[in-house]
Amino acid sequence: MSAQHVLPLTTILLMGAFHGINPGMGWLFAVALGMQERRLGAVWRTLIPLSLGHALAIGVVVLIAVIAGVALPIPALKVLVAATLGTLGVYRLIRHTHFNGGGMRVGFGSLTAWSFLMATCHGAGLMVLPLFLGMVVPAGATCHTPGLVSTSAAMAITSTLAHGAGYLAVTAAAAWLVYTKLGLGMLRKAWINLDLIWAAALITTGILTLVL
C-alpha cells in the first residue's frame, strides 16, 4: 500500500463509521436483543454476525467490480456505478421501508444474512466503489493494464477490512452507549432522519463518481 492509498482508505473507514451510526444497519438490533436477554453479553455477541454480514455486502460488490473491470472499459464501469448510486438514492428518497426478515429469535446465520441484506439494500458497497476504483485504476489505465487484476484483488480485501473496522467500532460504541447509558427512549427525543441523509449521500457520491 502506497501513500496515495492512505486518504482513500481512511475515507472508506469513515464511511464504515457513517454506516455504523445508522440504527437500521445493526446497532438497534443488538440493543434490542441485549434488552430481551437482559445482559450486555448478548449485545457483544450480536456484533459478530452483524459485522460479518456488512463486510460480506461490501466485499461482494467490490468483487463484482473487479470481475466486471476485466470485461468492461473503466469509464463505462464508472458510469454504471454512478447510475446505480443515483437510482438507489432516488429510491431511498421515495421509499423508507426496510427489509424485515425473521423474528427476534435469530441465530448466527440468520443475523449475518439480515445484516448482508440490509447493507446491500442501503447501497453500502456501492458507496465504497468510487474510492476503490480510484485506488486501483491509475490515470490512463485500461482493464488490460498489467497487474491491475492482482492489485484490485489486494485492494478489495484491504478496503473491505478498513470499512468493516469503521463499521464495527461505531456500531459497538453506539450499542454500548444506548444499552448502558441512554436507553431506547432517547430515540424519541433525538431522532435524526438518517434515511434522508443516506439518500443524499448516495446521490452525491454518484455525481462525484462522474465528475472526478
* Segment 160-199, tens digit of pLDDT: 899 999 999 999 999 999 888 876 655 555 555 556 665 6
Which range scores top for mean pLDDT: 30-34, 64-68, 151-155?
30-34
Q: Using 50, 70 and 90 to split pLDDT, how confident is the model at 99? A: very low
Quote the pTM value: 0.71
More confident call, 88 vs 158: 158
CA torsion, ordered 46, 52, 58, 64, to nearest 10 deg? -140
What is the model's pLDDT at position 23?
77
Q: Which of the listed ranges 5-19, 84-98, 119-133 does the model predict with the highest average pLDDT? A: 5-19
pLDDT at 44 over 90: yes
Contact 114, 53 (CB under 8 A): yes
* Residue ranges with strand state E in 84-205: none
Q: How far is CA 44 from CA 32, 170, 173, 178, 205, in A?
A: 12, 13, 10, 13, 32
Q: In this structure, which amino acid lies at residue 94?
A: I
Interatomic CA distance for residues 171 and 176, integer angstroms: 8
**Does 107 score more than 50 pLDDT?**
yes
Nearest-angstrom CA–CA distance, 128 and 57:
11
Range of 56-60, 83-87, 131-135, 147-151 with top mean pLDDT: 56-60
Are 174 and 21 contacting, i.e. CB atoms less than 8 angstroms apart?
yes
Q: How far apart are CA 44 and CA 150, in angstroms?
A: 35
For the chain, the structural domain boundaries read 3-211
